[in-house]
Amino acid sequence: MAAKCALITGSSSGIGKAIALKLANDGYDIGINYAHNKNAAQSVVTEVRNIGVAADIFQVDIGNIPELKDLFHAFLNVFGKIDLLVNNAGITRCRPFIDVNEELFDELCNTNFKSHYFLTQFAARNMIENKIHGNIINITSIHQQTAMPETSVYGSFKSAFAKFTHHAAVELAPYGIRVNAVAPGAINTSNDVNERAQYLASRVPMGRLGLPDEIASVVSFLVSDAASYINGANILVDGGILLPSYVDNLYTPRVVTDKMS
What value does the CA radius of gyration of the chain take, rounded to a whole number of Å?
Answer: 19
How far apart (Å, rounded) are the C-alpha atoms in residues 137 and 223? 8
How far apart (Å, rounded) are the C-alpha atoms in residues 30 and 48? 8
Which amino acid type is present at position 42? Q
Q: Is 246 a catalytic residue?
A: no
Which amino acid type is present at position 127? M
- Backbone phi, then psi, for 178, in 5-degree steps? -100, 140
Nearest to 17, CA basis, from 105, 180, 183, 139: 139
Q: Pick the catalytic residue: 154, 199, 229, 251?
A: 154
Sheet holding 29-34, edge to edge: 55-59, 29-34, 5-8, 84-87, 135-139, 178-184, 234-237
- Catalytic residue ranges: 154
